[in-house]
Amino acid sequence: VVMLQSACSMACPFCINDPFPAISWDQALNLLEGFRIDGIRNVILGGGEPFLWKHGLVNLSRKAHDMGFFVQVGSNATLLPQGFENISTIDRYVLPLESTDQALHDRLRPHGSSHHGLILDALQRLKESSKSVTLSTVVTRWNHQELQTLGRFLSNYKDQGGFLHAWHLYK
């Protein structure tokens, strides 16, 4: 996992991301080169929100892909570019989903009118483009009783043609 920078477009109440300086383009390339030399073939580009990284996340994904990496991007989905689901140098997205209940999810992931809607839209687009996704859920006292329902939702997503790689639970 390469944490590009800590800046984020959200202010989730459970966030544990402490501020740290953004890495430079050269630092990112040096890390990738070191990983390649060490035989690592899978990289997750994250942050804060990696689409805020001033050097261009898509440019870095292209470079990483050219180096032979399977490239994943961990994003909160608020800044996904138009056509994100068709960016050929990003193999998988890692997105948050805290609940199937919009109000509960949006309470945990406050952003504009509905972050929940952004995630559902992103999942639909990824399914239509046959792009793989990993979902992450932060388990809190507010959503822990929702996990079975969320699990069924993800099972249905997969049964309806979505490419669900994994479901990560964090406490």
* CA–CA dist 23, 152 (Å, integer): 39
* DSSP element (H, E) containing 156: helix 147-159
pLDDT number for residue 4 = 97
- Regions of the chain where pLDDT drops below 50: none
Q: What is the pLDDT of residue 123?
A: 98
Q: What is the pLDDT of residue 151?
A: 97
Burial class (CB in 10 A: 0-12, 13-18, 19+), 170: exposed
**pLDDT at site 67:** 97
What is the tens place of the pLDDT at every residue in 26-43?
Answer: 999 999 999 999 999 999
